[in-house]
Amino acid sequence: MLDNKVIVVTGGGRGIGRETAIYCAAKGASVVVADPGVAADGSGEDAAPAQATADEIAAAGGKAVANFGSVAEASDANAMIEQALDQFGRIDGVINAGGYLRDGWWHKMSRAQWDEMIDVHLNGSFNMCKAATPHFREQESGSFVLFTSPSAVIGNPAQSNYSAAKHGVIGLMQSIALDMARSKVRANAIAPTALTRLVAGAMRANGMDEETIEKVGASMGADKIAPLAAWLVADDSADISGYIMGARGEEVSFFDLPRPVARMTQEGGWSIEALAERFGPAIREHGGIGLGKQEA
Question: Could you give the residue numbers annotated as active site?
Answer: 162
DSSP string covering the chain, please?
--TT-EEEEETTTSHHHHHHHHHHHHTT-EEEEE-----TTS----SHHHHHHHHHHHHTT-EEEEE---TTSHHHHHHHHHHHHHHHS---EEEE-------B-GGG--HHHHHHHIIIIIIHHHHHHHHHHHHHHHHT--EEEEE--HHHHH--TTBHHHHHHHHHHHHHHHHHHHHHGGGT-EEEEEEEE-B-HHHHHHHHHTT--HHHHHHHHHHSBGGGTHHHHHHTTSGGGTT--S-EEEEETTEEEEPPPP--S-----TT---HHHIIIIIHHHHHHH-TT-GGGS--
